[in-house]
Structure 1
């Protein structure tokens, strides 16, 4: 506790007034002896003790009254972050006054006098030293330079700031705090404004003194969503201060202090930030205004949408799982999840019960009927603390075909005897007549449609007839079916194909060799490398094992690849009936992080191995995909297995319309069939993109072959974006089926933003090792940090109320003492009628003399 008007503490001298009056009254008393005094001594001794106690209490009350009035005029002030509690300072000061009054009132008692005087001095020293220490520490802590400053105001725009608390979101509170900070700055202070999110944005990038412009920017400000990347935001603030012209520098961060996005474990990045701040003209002070988060709340969040396949077509249904996370503190029962496709509701599911910190799943199945960019939206019908995370969007590119090239390493004229026969049949299980109809429809939209459509369009080539300059770019997947080796030209082109995102499936069989001699220029899988020494195949062939006498089986529990999830459900799959009569033992490099064993046989040998290479993937099976090595082609699981592998391996070449915040979006739109034969130049090289907050940003567009390539880099805000096409482009390219002139895409959010776990004391201590951050917990503290005064509460009114209470106590005490002593009452003397006459008295006197 400190005092704003120290001079008025001299008013404590008024405490001496009742003391002086008491001493003067004692001097005026005169001692008079009279005859009957000895009979009253016993009574007076007892009475004196009572009178002294009454005088001590009365003296203490009167001194306390004057002390409270003097303290009230000195304007006592309690800082919000007082280092010494007021329960020490104030009682010590008042206790010293009381001890002094007791010592004076009981001055005749030497032991009491010295004890009270010693206590008064000790308590007075405690109060005085505590006040001086508090005054010095508070003024030093909250001192601010009077020079003009450059101030960077950073507002947390993450999804967690959408939490509604006491009728307002924390983002609204943050904007109000920013307004208060702007108002508290001096007229010469220049201010910049930064919105922190997954990618921080300079709303007012350079410090300015135009308050009207700053207030308008705050009025127009909307949260960005996603998680706040604190380091990136503070680095942008430092760059903003670098552009300022004032000597003083300050950063004000307004946040709910959610622990997501601070990256405190990365000490090197924080050290880099601290080093950058030191390069400014003066090292800036960082003030962090932390907003409160309720300890108990109810909140469900739509955290993810998961499709059962990476490649989605119109040929069959796809599973859609909506993940619902309970990030609140109470169990939620009966929440309804609604699934919409392109704005049209298609299904609903009611969740039974989702406990706190648990994840529920709403399962849907939907078959898309139109190709193009389709928007999947899931919405939770539940009122909770954060309505923003009740909706989630995903965009899926529904395709009409995936072209697959199957290279046959063991061609045969007999039906189903070649290495590629079953693979081709699995991809496109149609008769020759149906295949002809499919090809006719794809080349001519007016041709009569076939009875059954297939998304996978396969083509078979003999490996001995591959051209040196074979072009694989028109395919999404290439399958090497029992191909023994490759000539240098196709091998090099396959490497380029995979590096650019194509898929490659290698199924070695009895035609494959361990290695080639040095005179053979052809490439085997074991020696297949790039000129830089990069391995292409995910494993090396070791030796071929024949197990027809005791077939090996798959180890179902070892199947851990997403593409195998469908066939490992033995309730719907017969994969456990697989029997392998011959297979290659594969050697998998243990130290290669790009290689992953996706499945194993019960012998412990790998069954399926995958390597990520460039943008694409290379998969290798342990046996060929025909009836020579196993009974797999005869199983019901064979067709879905081949389809799932094809979808997975083809996925990198498909459009990726769901990107991470800050990532570059690149979408290639294929031309409609009628436009493929008559390519034309573009009528625009820039398109308009509408962000989730309804801002408009430009996107670049260009031709890539016959495709329209759209590039967009301003992906800071999570949510659904819409890129508009010109009428000419909408007529020419396949976009959204329900809105031909719109190309939708999403920027992914962070599901962790719905979990309101704030920074712990240990986190703040770890942050303090890198930066000196002043935490303020109220608007008054924020203003005090800017202006330089000590924030807190003045206690004068409480002192006045206490003084009034003491006055009433003094009046009551005085009346009680007066009534107890009865000093003001008249005592009546009553003379009785039983007095003796003179003769009787003389007779009694003679008797007394005679006795003597």
Structure 2
């Protein structure tokens, strides 16, 4: 317990007033000799003890009353994180004052016992107050000039309306008041917090008009308040200041989201940064909290009913609406906008607190390409920023699927891929060896396995190997590279599939199949798929037997499997053997079916559920394509090229690597056959050169044999070793010993003079077969931006820029600036159009998704605050006046003077009643029996 007006504690001297009056009156009493008084001695002796108790109570009450008044005027308060319990200190002082006054009424030993006890209590309380001041108030000591970082939370929840103003508006107003009232010489740094915190001033500013101008220009961003990152930005900004003392003031609400309390290591790093500063900054958390009563309805998400959305049929768009407040709300209808045009509207009805409802809209997209979908609701609530949600749906005109038929002999339905091709697209053209055409989303093409060429693999979203016995080394290496690069591989392991080949089929990310293949099992009675085991997302739709007839299938021959090789079982047969197994491989996916999808293995293709099953399996294997819905962050980025590794490639329009490269990109591997064509429209067909730079990361330790094919010349240098060179054909470059996981520098250069052009680089891993050095074995060089900036319009209508650049994981489109949740319209160039197959002149929408957790208002806990206190001196003011007090070297806390004032008033009434009762009692006559000898006489006093 401390005091805002400690000098007014001198008023406690007034406690001596009733004591002095008592002593003076006692000294003024003079004895009068009167013979008859001896007859009243017995009466006085009888009443003396009662009168002492009455005087003791009156003295204690009067001293206590004056003590309460003096303490209340000094304005006691309990500072934040007080280490001394005020419920002990305050009673100790008051009891000590009461006992001290009472001791002057008594006589004998009792007087000294009370007096010593009172002094012990008073001095103990005073010592605790001094200890509190030393341990706590020292935090508020003024130390001259200081740098103060003002962090303004600009997240979605700060748009909450309280008392006619949004919390963000109140935060800015209090920050401005703080700047105006702060001590002279204080420098301010302004940080706007949100999904990507941004320092609005490069360094702390002392000119207050400039700081106030920055605060006036602030606007809410939306999204989640990344508090930990904002504190990091503030720390870096404070390091630029010239003043020794540092403070960080955070204006925020009670939201727990974004503080990274589940990551103690992050806070350890921040704490180390604070310790490294000249003076460890205090963290002042101005928490506006949330109202006890909250009306809020939010749109939590928009989800399409299918993984792959095409133009061939309707899709269901499910909009989830949630009441995140404390009151029941009847919101207005939910409306759907697609491509800027309103397509429908549906009511929701009454929502009680915590209730969720899903509203469904059916829509058939008329054209392929990315489409912006926006759902709105008339929430009629306290938070308007979450009454809208956005999503970009990538609508595909078709999904190119290559079916490699491992049993091409016989009629169409006797082949390994016949039923599968017709299930994907029931077109009669497929039986004539043609493609299905634009009328179908799935665009399958069947190629007999012996006729498969490298060109057949280009542009395929999914490659299906239908009972293919084995593949040539070169095609297997090409497929594994494409899968690592984002394509899908679906292996239908019929009886012709050679287990030895598939089990040895490995690349940079390990084995391609999710499980090792075993022998063929045969059961004339057949076994059936077990829908209860359909737990994987690829087949979860068929878990309920009411949705399909797959449980009635009879599979008479299937492949046994070994242990999983990094994958999971997706479905099983009733006998326990795996039916389907899935695996994420690089940026692609692989799926294994342990039985053939033809009449040889059973009646599965004849069932009604076979067609939707195959569609779901192929759709899962294809993945979702380019994800145009990204989380809010600084410079929101869209991964456009799925490579998880690769090399940074620089291309020159000459054969000497002279001048500035025409363009720079990330190549997944050195595996090119250009022939007599241009490598890129920006390069000539002849006389060009390429340089690939990066790091090589071997998957296993041992000796690797390098092989290259080139026309004209390629040179390779790995680490600090010698340079390998070859040209005009295939050449064994030599052997090199590499260590697993150890990255070493890699450099390759190539030039083309004229004629045919190709460049390929192979290795033979220890115990493996020769293959193109896979994408995952490379790491590209540091990111470099390429090309001219692209024009972008953000959700607020302001222009921005974006760049297409290499990245650690393939290529990406990076939008400049902090992420504001909503739809960004990107004007693509020719390169971006080619990557996403965008129509000419069309804008590409990108959705920055608002965090639904911002609508939940999950508050910080005491454990969360304890984590902050481990690394910083945390203060929790309740007003801007308290913050000003911190900067001025004053304390703040929970004032308790009102408690003392009320107690003093009550005591005043009690003292008045007590004094009146004592006075009246002493004026009232009493009958006392006095014995004058042998005769008893009654007298009256």
The TM tier, using the shorter chain, reads: 0.7 to 0.9
Picking from 854, 862, 881, the partner of 1:753 is: 854
Residues 330-367 of structure 1 deviation map (CA, whole Å, 9 limit, x = unaligned): 56678854433334444455557766556443334322
Q: 1:489 maps to what in 2?
A: 474
Structure 1 position 789, deviation (Å): 0.8
What does 1:209-228 correspond to in 2, within 5 Å?
A: 209-228=206-225
- Are 2:310 and 2:368, in contact at CA under 8 Å, matched by a contact in 1? yes
Q: 2:511 maps to what in 1?
A: 535
SS at match of 1:198: coil
What does 1:384-463 correspond to in 2, within 5 Å?
A: 384-412=381-409, 414-432=411-429, 453-463=439-449
- Are 2:422 and 2:430, in contact at CA under 8 Å, matched by a contact in 1? no
Distance 1:420 1:798 in 2: 86
Picking from 712, 717, 720, the partner of 2:814 is: 712
- Are 1:155 and 1:254, in contact at CA under 8 Å, matched by a contact in 2? yes
SS at match of 1:484: coil
Residues 768-822 of structure 1 deviation map (CA, whole Å, 9 limit, x = unaligned): 3444434444433333333321114778899889888888888888888777777
Distance 1:604 1:510 in 2: 19
Distance 2:824 2:55 in 1: 87
Residues 93-129 of structure 1 deviation map (CA, whole Å, 9 limit, x = unaligned): 454444444444x45x546644543454344334433
SS at match of 1:208: coil
- Is 1:612 aligned to residue 609 of structure 2? no
Distance 1:525 1:804 in 2: 91
SS at match of 1:388: coil
Distance 1:801 1:300 in 2: 44
| Residues 352 and 538 of structure 1, relative CA distance in 2, 3 Å threshold | same
Picking from 142, 146, 149, the partner of 2:140 is: 142
What does 1:575-724 correspond to in 2, within 5 Å?
A: 575-589=550-564, 592=566, 595-652=567-624, 654-662=625-633, 664-666=637-639, 685-700=788-803, 711-714=813-816, 716-717=818-819, 719-724=821-826
SS at match of 1:633: helix
| Residues 789 and 335 of structure 1, relative CA distance in 2, 3 Å threshold | same
SS at match of 2:230: helix
| Residues 222 and 40 of structure 1, relative CA distance in 2, 3 Å threshold | same
Q: 2:337 maps to what in 1?
A: 340
| Residues 298 and 38 of structure 1, relative CA distance in 2, 3 Å threshold | same
Q: 1:124 maps to what in 2?
A: 122
| Residues 605 and 353 of structure 1, relative CA distance in 2, 3 Å threshold | farther
Distance 2:910 2:125 in 1: 25
Unaligned runs of 5+ in 1: 443-452, 516-523, 669-678, 704-708, 824-852
What does 1:105-254 correspond to in 2, within 5 Å?
A: 106=105, 109-110=107-108, 113-114=111-112, 116-146=114-144, 148-254=145-251
Distance 2:550 2:306 in 1: 19
- Are 2:142 and 2:887, in contact at CA under 8 Å, matched by a contact in 1? yes
- Is 1:382 aligned to residue 370 of structure 2? no
Structure 1 position 66, deviation (Å): 5.7
Distance 1:461 1:508 in 2: 17
Distance 1:72 1:199 in 2: 47
| Residues 9 and 133 of structure 1, relative CA distance in 2, 3 Å threshold | same
Distance 2:494 2:914 in 1: 111
| Residues 472 and 718 of structure 1, relative CA distance in 2, 3 Å threshold | farther
Structure 1 position 700, deviation (Å): 2.4
SS at match of 2:131: helix
What does 1:724-739 correspond to in 2, within 5 Å?
A: 724-725=826-827
- Structure number with higher strand proportion: 2
Distance 2:817 2:503 in 1: 43
Structure 1 position 313, deviation (Å): 0.9
Structure 1 position 698, deviation (Å): 0.9
| Residues 43 and 694 of structure 1, relative CA distance in 2, 3 Å threshold | farther
Residues 252-311 of structure 1 deviation map (CA, whole Å, 9 limit, x = unaligned): 233334333333343333322222333323333333333323455344432222222221
- Are 1:99 and 1:120, in contact at CA under 8 Å, matched by a contact in 2? yes
| Residues 657 and 42 of structure 1, relative CA distance in 2, 3 Å threshold | same
Q: RMSD across aligned C-alpha pairs, in angstroms?
A: 4.2
Distance 1:241 1:247 in 2: 10
- Are 1:664 and 1:715, in contact at CA under 8 Å, matched by a contact in 2? no
Of residues 399-408 and 564-573 in structure 1, the stretch that sits farther from structure 2 once superposed is: 564-573
Q: 1:368 maps to what in 2?
A: 365
Residues 403-429 of structure 1 deviation map (CA, whole Å, 9 limit, x = unaligned): 222222222363433222222222221
Unaligned runs of 5+ in 2: 642-679, 683-786, 925-941
Distance 1:14 1:561 in 2: 81
Distance 1:719 1:163 in 2: 17
| Residues 665 and 33 of structure 1, relative CA distance in 2, 3 Å threshold | same
| Residues 730 and 616 of structure 1, relative CA distance in 2, 3 Å threshold | closer
Of residues 250-259 and 656-665 in structure 1, the stretch that sits farther from structure 2 once superposed is: 250-259
- Is 1:557 aligned to residue 532 of structure 2? yes
- Is 1:791 aligned to residue 892 of structure 2? yes
Q: 1:78 maps to what in 2?
A: 77
SS at match of 1:310: coil
Q: 2:301 maps to what in 1?
A: 304
Structure 1 position 556, deviation (Å): 1.0
Q: 1:323 maps to what in 2?
A: 320
Residues 626-666 of structure 1 deviation map (CA, whole Å, 9 limit, x = unaligned): 222222222222222222223223335x3321122335214
| Residues 630 and 251 of structure 1, relative CA distance in 2, 3 Å threshold | same
- Is 1:476 aligned to residue 461 of structure 2? yes
SS at match of 1:239: helix
Of residues 799-808 and 382-391 in structure 1, the stretch that sits farther from structure 2 once superposed is: 799-808
Distance 1:222 1:735 in 2: 37
Structure 1 position 179, deviation (Å): 2.9
SS at match of 2:613: helix
- Are 2:427 and 2:436, in contact at CA under 8 Å, matched by a contact in 1? no
| Residues 489 and 344 of structure 1, relative CA distance in 2, 3 Å threshold | same
- Are 1:730 and 1:741, in contact at CA under 8 Å, matched by a contact in 2? no
TM-score, reference length from structure 1: 0.80
- Are 1:404 and 1:476, in contact at CA under 8 Å, matched by a contact in 2? yes
Residues 465-522 of structure 1 deviation map (CA, whole Å, 9 limit, x = unaligned): 223x42523222222222211122322221222122112222232332233xxxxxxx
- Are 1:734 and 1:740, in contact at CA under 8 Å, matched by a contact in 2? no
| Residues 335 and 44 of structure 1, relative CA distance in 2, 3 Å threshold | same
Of residues 16-25 and 610-619 in structure 1, the stretch that sits farther from structure 2 once superposed is: 16-25
Of residues 205-214 and 633-642 in structure 1, the stretch that sits farther from structure 2 once superposed is: 205-214
- Are 1:326 and 1:357, in contact at CA under 8 Å, matched by a contact in 2? yes
Structure 1 position 583, deviation (Å): 1.7
Structure 1 position 689, deviation (Å): 2.4
